[in-house]
Amino acid sequence: MRFRKEKPRASGDIPDASLPDIAFLLLIFFLVTTTFEVQRGIAYRLPRKPDEQIEEVVIEETNRLVLTVKQWGLHEYVALVDQAPPGGPLERARAGEDISLADTTFQRKIWILASDRAESLSVTTGRLLENLESAKGVPGGTYRNLSVAIQTENLVPQVRAGIQRQAMGDAAPSRADPIFGEVAFGDTLVLVDARQGEIATVVVESELVVILKFFPDCDYEGMVAALDMLRRNGVSRTGITIQERTGGGDAA
Protein backbone atom coordinates (compact mmCIF):
# COMPACT_ATOMS: atom_id res chain seq x y z
CA MET A 1 0.00 0.00 0.00
CA ARG A 2 1.42 3.33 -1.04
CA PHE A 3 1.12 6.36 1.21
CA ARG A 4 0.50 9.70 -0.26
CA LYS A 5 2.93 12.40 0.88
CA GLU A 6 1.22 15.69 1.52
CA LYS A 7 2.94 18.96 0.86
CA PRO A 8 3.31 21.30 3.85
CA ARG A 9 0.73 23.96 3.86
CA ALA A 10 1.43 27.61 4.76
CA SER A 11 0.05 28.56 8.12
CA GLY A 12 -1.93 31.72 8.61
CA ASP A 13 -0.37 32.41 12.02
CA ILE A 14 2.09 35.30 12.44
CA PRO A 15 5.30 34.25 14.18
CA ASP A 16 5.86 36.23 17.36
CA ALA A 17 9.23 34.91 18.43
CA SER A 18 11.09 38.13 17.40
CA LEU A 19 8.50 40.65 18.64
CA PRO A 20 10.42 41.45 21.88
CA ASP A 21 13.53 42.24 19.83
CA ILE A 22 11.59 44.48 17.49
CA ALA A 23 9.93 46.30 20.37
CA PHE A 24 13.30 46.84 22.05
CA LEU A 25 14.81 48.27 18.85
CA LEU A 26 11.85 50.60 18.39
CA LEU A 27 12.17 51.78 21.97
CA ILE A 28 15.83 52.64 21.45
CA PHE A 29 15.00 54.43 18.18
CA PHE A 30 12.35 56.63 19.79
CA LEU A 31 14.57 57.42 22.76
CA VAL A 32 17.39 58.54 20.47
CA THR A 33 15.32 60.59 18.03
CA THR A 34 12.84 62.20 20.41
CA THR A 35 13.53 65.77 21.57
CA PHE A 36 12.35 66.93 24.98
CA GLU A 37 11.18 70.42 25.82
CA VAL A 38 13.35 71.96 28.52
CA GLN A 39 11.67 74.13 31.11
CA ARG A 40 13.90 77.18 31.31
CA GLY A 41 12.04 79.00 34.06
CA ILE A 42 11.70 82.77 34.37
CA ALA A 43 14.51 84.94 32.97
CA TYR A 44 15.74 87.72 35.22
CA ARG A 45 18.87 89.76 35.84
CA LEU A 46 20.70 89.50 39.10
CA PRO A 47 21.13 92.73 41.05
CA ARG A 48 24.52 94.41 41.22
CA LYS A 49 26.91 93.45 43.94
CA PRO A 50 26.68 95.76 46.95
CA ASP A 51 30.29 96.83 46.53
CA GLU A 52 30.07 97.36 42.77
CA GLN A 53 30.23 101.04 41.89
CA ILE A 54 29.74 102.93 38.64
CA GLU A 55 32.48 105.44 38.05
CA GLU A 56 31.10 108.79 36.97
CA VAL A 57 33.34 110.80 34.68
CA VAL A 58 33.45 114.45 35.69
CA ILE A 59 34.99 116.94 33.27
CA GLU A 60 36.34 120.07 34.86
CA GLU A 61 35.07 123.35 33.44
CA THR A 62 38.63 124.42 32.67
CA ASN A 63 38.98 121.42 30.33
CA ARG A 64 35.54 121.52 28.70
CA LEU A 65 34.61 123.12 25.37
CA VAL A 66 31.03 122.77 24.09
CA LEU A 67 30.24 123.53 20.43
CA THR A 68 26.94 123.40 18.54
CA VAL A 69 27.60 122.50 14.90
CA LYS A 70 25.07 123.55 12.26
CA GLN A 71 24.86 123.18 8.50
CA TRP A 72 24.46 126.38 6.48
CA GLY A 73 24.59 124.91 3.02
CA LEU A 74 26.15 122.21 0.89
CA HIS A 75 29.53 121.32 2.46
CA GLU A 76 29.35 124.41 4.69
CA TYR A 77 29.28 124.02 8.47
CA VAL A 78 29.48 126.49 11.33
CA ALA A 79 29.97 126.22 15.07
CA LEU A 80 28.49 128.15 17.97
CA VAL A 81 30.53 128.21 21.18
CA ASP A 82 28.15 127.30 23.99
CA GLN A 83 30.79 126.91 26.69
CA ALA A 84 34.53 127.54 26.76
CA PRO A 85 37.26 127.26 29.40
CA PRO A 86 37.42 130.48 31.42
CA GLY A 87 40.32 132.76 30.61
CA GLY A 88 40.97 131.06 27.26
CA PRO A 89 40.91 132.46 23.73
CA LEU A 90 37.31 131.32 23.14
CA GLU A 91 35.83 132.57 26.42
CA ARG A 92 34.19 135.60 24.79
CA ALA A 93 32.92 133.75 21.72
CA ARG A 94 29.51 133.16 23.29
CA ALA A 95 27.50 136.03 21.86
CA GLY A 96 25.55 133.86 19.41
CA GLU A 97 28.05 134.31 16.58
CA ASP A 98 28.38 131.35 14.24
CA ILE A 99 31.97 130.61 13.21
CA SER A 100 32.90 128.59 10.14
CA LEU A 101 34.68 125.32 10.87
CA ALA A 102 37.17 126.31 8.17
CA ASP A 103 38.08 129.56 9.93
CA THR A 104 41.82 129.36 10.58
CA THR A 105 41.66 131.79 13.53
CA PHE A 106 39.01 129.64 15.18
CA GLN A 107 41.09 126.51 14.61
CA ARG A 108 44.19 128.22 16.03
CA LYS A 109 42.32 129.06 19.24
CA ILE A 110 41.26 125.44 19.62
CA TRP A 111 44.88 124.40 19.12
CA ILE A 112 45.98 126.82 21.87
CA LEU A 113 43.37 125.41 24.25
CA ALA A 114 44.48 121.85 23.49
CA SER A 115 48.23 122.47 23.71
CA ASP A 116 47.89 124.43 26.97
CA ARG A 117 46.20 121.38 28.48
CA ALA A 118 48.64 118.74 27.27
CA GLU A 119 48.69 115.79 29.64
CA SER A 120 51.76 115.19 31.77
CA LEU A 121 54.40 112.89 30.30
CA SER A 122 53.97 110.52 33.26
CA VAL A 123 50.35 109.98 32.20
CA THR A 124 51.41 109.41 28.59
CA THR A 125 54.13 106.90 29.47
CA GLY A 126 51.70 105.17 31.84
CA ARG A 127 49.29 104.62 28.95
CA LEU A 128 52.21 103.41 26.81
CA LEU A 129 53.08 100.82 29.45
CA GLU A 130 49.48 99.59 29.44
CA ASN A 131 49.59 99.32 25.62
CA LEU A 132 52.85 97.37 25.83
CA GLU A 133 51.49 94.88 28.36
CA SER A 134 48.39 94.42 26.19
CA ALA A 135 50.52 93.86 23.07
CA LYS A 136 52.65 91.30 24.92
CA GLY A 137 49.58 89.56 26.32
CA VAL A 138 50.75 89.82 29.92
CA PRO A 139 48.64 90.91 32.94
CA GLY A 140 48.56 94.56 33.88
CA GLY A 141 51.24 95.47 36.40
CA THR A 142 53.68 92.83 35.14
CA TYR A 143 56.39 95.47 34.80
CA ARG A 144 57.21 97.80 37.69
CA ASN A 145 57.59 100.76 35.34
CA LEU A 146 58.28 101.59 31.70
CA SER A 147 62.06 101.60 32.11
CA VAL A 148 62.00 98.05 33.48
CA ALA A 149 59.72 96.94 30.63
CA ILE A 150 62.05 98.43 28.00
CA GLN A 151 65.10 96.72 29.52
CA THR A 152 63.31 93.38 29.99
CA GLU A 153 61.95 93.26 26.44
CA ASN A 154 65.07 94.85 24.89
CA LEU A 155 63.06 97.62 23.20
CA VAL A 156 64.20 100.88 21.62
CA PRO A 157 62.22 104.07 22.51
CA GLN A 158 61.60 106.49 19.64
CA VAL A 159 59.70 109.75 19.10
CA ARG A 160 57.64 110.38 15.97
CA ALA A 161 57.06 114.07 15.31
CA GLY A 162 53.48 115.31 15.61
CA ILE A 163 51.68 118.17 13.88
CA GLN A 164 53.14 120.87 16.11
CA ARG A 165 56.73 119.74 15.64
CA GLN A 166 56.19 119.31 11.90
CA ALA A 167 54.89 122.88 11.64
CA MET A 168 57.34 124.60 14.02
CA GLY A 169 60.38 122.31 13.94
CA ASP A 170 62.82 122.83 16.80
CA ALA A 171 60.88 125.93 17.86
CA ALA A 172 57.96 123.78 19.02
CA PRO A 173 57.54 123.87 22.82
CA SER A 174 58.77 120.59 24.27
CA ARG A 175 59.38 118.86 27.59
CA ALA A 176 62.24 116.61 28.62
CA ASP A 177 61.57 112.96 29.36
CA PRO A 178 64.27 110.67 30.82
CA ILE A 179 63.39 107.89 28.35
CA PHE A 180 62.37 109.66 25.13
CA GLY A 181 64.23 112.95 25.42
CA GLU A 182 62.50 116.10 24.11
CA VAL A 183 58.79 115.49 23.57
CA ALA A 184 56.27 117.97 22.15
CA PHE A 185 52.49 117.96 22.32
CA GLY A 186 51.09 115.70 19.60
CA ASP A 187 54.23 113.58 19.25
CA THR A 188 53.91 109.79 19.15
CA LEU A 189 56.00 107.72 21.55
CA VAL A 190 57.02 104.41 20.00
CA LEU A 191 58.57 101.23 21.41
CA VAL A 192 60.42 99.26 18.74
CA ASP A 193 61.68 95.68 18.73
CA ALA A 194 64.71 94.94 16.53
CA ARG A 195 62.98 91.94 14.92
CA GLN A 196 59.25 92.63 15.21
CA GLY A 197 59.25 96.38 14.57
CA GLU A 198 56.79 98.63 16.42
CA ILE A 199 55.36 96.95 19.51
CA ALA A 200 53.40 99.75 21.19
CA THR A 201 52.66 103.42 20.53
CA VAL A 202 50.89 106.29 22.25
CA VAL A 203 50.20 109.92 21.36
CA VAL A 204 50.84 112.80 23.75
CA GLU A 205 47.21 113.93 24.08
CA SER A 206 45.39 116.89 25.54
CA GLU A 207 43.08 116.85 28.54
CA LEU A 208 40.76 119.23 26.66
CA VAL A 209 37.38 117.58 26.04
CA VAL A 210 35.18 118.95 23.25
CA ILE A 211 31.45 118.19 23.35
CA LEU A 212 29.87 118.46 19.90
CA LYS A 213 26.13 119.05 19.60
CA PHE A 214 24.52 118.40 16.22
CA PHE A 215 21.03 119.05 14.92
CA PRO A 216 19.35 116.16 13.03
CA ASP A 217 19.43 118.13 9.77
CA CYS A 218 23.24 118.27 9.86
CA ASP A 219 24.46 115.55 7.51
CA TYR A 220 27.05 112.89 8.28
CA GLU A 221 29.71 114.78 6.35
CA GLY A 222 29.37 117.67 8.79
CA MET A 223 30.06 115.38 11.75
CA VAL A 224 33.14 113.98 10.03
CA ALA A 225 34.35 117.49 9.15
CA ALA A 226 34.02 118.67 12.76
CA LEU A 227 35.80 115.64 14.21
CA ASP A 228 38.57 115.84 11.62
CA MET A 229 39.10 119.55 12.32
CA LEU A 230 39.46 118.83 16.04
CA ARG A 231 41.85 115.95 15.43
CA ARG A 232 44.08 118.09 13.24
CA ASN A 233 44.25 120.67 16.01
CA GLY A 234 45.29 118.32 18.77
CA VAL A 235 41.93 117.27 20.24
CA SER A 236 41.42 113.53 20.69
CA ARG A 237 38.81 113.46 23.47
CA THR A 238 35.36 114.24 22.11
CA GLY A 239 31.71 113.56 22.85
CA ILE A 240 28.68 113.82 20.53
CA THR A 241 25.04 114.60 21.28
CA ILE A 242 22.06 115.11 18.96
CA GLN A 243 19.95 118.20 19.61
CA GLU A 244 16.22 118.57 18.94
CA ARG A 245 14.71 121.74 17.57
CA THR A 246 11.97 123.22 19.72
CA GLY A 247 9.58 125.98 18.74
CA GLY A 248 10.95 128.45 16.28
CA GLY A 249 14.55 128.42 17.51
CA ASP A 250 17.37 126.07 18.21
CA ALA A 251 17.68 123.88 21.25
CA ALA A 252 20.10 125.17 23.80
Map out the domains of the chain as residue ranges.
86-117+207-242, 121-203
> Is the C-alpha dihedral spanning 39, 42, 43, 49 positive or negative?
negative
The helix (H) or strand (E) run that includes residue 32 is helix 19-33
Contact present, 66 and 91 (Cβ < 8 Å):
no
pLDDT at site 139? 92
pTM of the model: 0.65
> Is 191 within 8 Å of 128 (Cβ atoms)?
yes
- Burial letters 153-174, b for 16+ CB under 10 A, else e: eebebebeebbbbeeeeeebeb
DSSP, collapsed to helix, strand or coil, labels residue 229 as helix
Q: What is the pLDDT along the chain (252 residues), one digit of tens a residue?
A: 555 555 556 555 666 666 777 777 778 877 777 766 655 555 555 555 555 555 566 778 889 999 999 988 888 899 999 999 988 898 877 656 889 999 999 999 999 999 999 999 999 999 999 999 999 999 989 999 999 999 999 999 999 998 778 878 888 888 999 999 999 998 999 999 988 899 999 999 999 999 999 988 888 898 999 999 998 888 989 999 887 766 544 433
- Give CA–CA dist 197/191, Å, rounded: 8
3-state SS string over 104-136? HHHHHHHHHHHHHCECCHHHHHHHHHHHHHHHH
H or E, element range at 230: helix 220-232
DSSP symbols for 178-204: TTTEEEETT-EEEEEETTTEEEEEEE-
The pLDDT, as a whole number, for residue 40 is 53
